[in-house]
């Protein structure tokens, strides 16, 4: 349960297809993420093999990253590894995120009160992107990372964001569509999904019951912040969530209401 099997790359997300990406940028990210996976210095040949990038192209990218201070080379054995510059750039940039930093204290408190994983997400084309994840301290928990994409139709955050639409717009966007089954419990028909979302909006919160990850339940709602529509979810294993959905929903709604009031006051 630690890792969500529905994690997808941008190339696999509807509306964020290959035509919207740049190969050279993708290769730079592939190289940086390769170090995240192997967690050790690697040679240029090994790096090219791991990423599937032609060695000549890999060499050109590596040379640029070394020149900009993002990689350094070791001589014995001949290998490469990232410098701290990547970390410093990421931390300083994240520290000035106009949305995540504003809601972090309250979402951390929500995580502590619910004792389950709390996720902040936003719609990107026809998918959800996780902006921040506050993981539960339980050994068995729902685990994900910021930057992961999720399907709109099978995730609680996706349902909440769809639920923020006017009903006519919701029906227009979903009408006549069928959706892939991420798990055996995923709602795949447009009519059933619309009904689920409309009913959920009436009660004020949205639920997934093993629809995105087997045996993981989640409850979510949406809010407006800085003229952006966002959604927050509480997610955890079925055996802990099943009998606490309403309780979690109440705490979630109170937290999002407080976030909205604080934003208006600011």
Domain boundaries, the chain: 10-90, 97-265
**116: which DSSP letter?**
S
d(CA 167, CA 195): 10
Q: What is the mean pLDDT of each run of 10 residues along the chain (266 residues)?
A: 49 50 87 94 95 94 95 91 94 85 93 97 93 95 93 97 95 91 95 96 96 97 92 97 96 95 78
d(CA 45, CA 41): 12
DSSP secondary structure, 146-212, as one string: TT-EEETTTSHHHHHHHHTS-HHHHHHHHTT-B---SSTT---BHHHHHHHHHHHHHHT-EEEESSS
Dihedral sign for Cα 259, 228, 87, 1, please.
positive
**141: which DSSP letter?**
-
- CB burial of 26-64 (b: ≥16 within 10 Å; e: otherwise) equals bbbebbeebbeeeeebbebeebbebbebeeeebeebbee
Closest CA to 233 of 94, 134, 140: 134
- CATH of 10-90 given 2.40.50.140, 1.10.10.10, 1.10.3720.10, 3.40.50.20: 1.10.10.10
E-state strands within 30-178: 71-75, 78-82, 117-124, 127-134, 149-151
pLDDT of residue 95: 83
pTM reported for the whole predicted model: 0.80
Instruction: Report the residue count for the chain.
Output: 266
Which CATH architecture group holds 97-265?
2-Layer Sandwich (3.30)
Cis-peptide, bond into residue 77, ω within 30° of zero:
yes
Q: Which residues contact 206 (CB under 8 A, 6 or more apart)?
A: 156, 159, 160, 163, 197, 200, 219, 220, 221
Q: Which residues contact 47 (CB under 8 A, 6 or more apart)?
A: 31, 34, 53, 58, 62, 80
Domains 10-90 and 97-265 share a fold: no
**8: which DSSP letter?**
B
């Amino acid at each position: 349960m630690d890792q969500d099997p529905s994690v997808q790359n941008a190339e696999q997300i509807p509306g964020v297809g290959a035509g919207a990406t740049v190969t050279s940028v993708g290769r730079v990210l592939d190289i940086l993420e390769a170090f995240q996976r192997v967690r050790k210095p690697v040679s240029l040949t090994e790096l090219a093999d791991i990423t599937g990038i032609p060695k000549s192209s890999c060499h050109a990218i590596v040379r640029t990253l070394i020149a900009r201070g993002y990689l350094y080379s070791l001589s014995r054995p001949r290998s490469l590894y990232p410098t701290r510059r990547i970390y410093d750039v990421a931390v300083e940039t994240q520290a000035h995120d106009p949305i995540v930093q504003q809601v972090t204290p309250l979402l951390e408190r929500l995580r502590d009160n619910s004792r389950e994983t709390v996720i902040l997400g936003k719609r990107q084309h026809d998918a959800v992107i996780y902006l921040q994840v506050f993981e539960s301290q339980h050994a068995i928990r729902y685990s994900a990372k910021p930057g992961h994409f999720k399907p709109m139709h099978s995730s609680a955050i996706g349902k909440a964001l769809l639920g923020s639409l006017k009903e006519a717009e919701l029906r227009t966007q979903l009408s006549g569509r069928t959706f892939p089954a991420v798990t055996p419990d995923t709602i795949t028909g447009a009519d059933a999904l619309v009904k689920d979302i409309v009913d959920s909006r009436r009660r004020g919160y949205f639920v997934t019951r093993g629809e995105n990850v087997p045996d993981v339940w989640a409850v979510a709602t949406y809010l407006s912040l800085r003229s952006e529509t966002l959604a927050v979810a509480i997610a955890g294993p079925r055996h802990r969530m099943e009998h606490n959905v309403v309780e979690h929903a109440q705490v979630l709604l109170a937290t999002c209401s407080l976030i909205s009031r604080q934003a208006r006051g600011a």
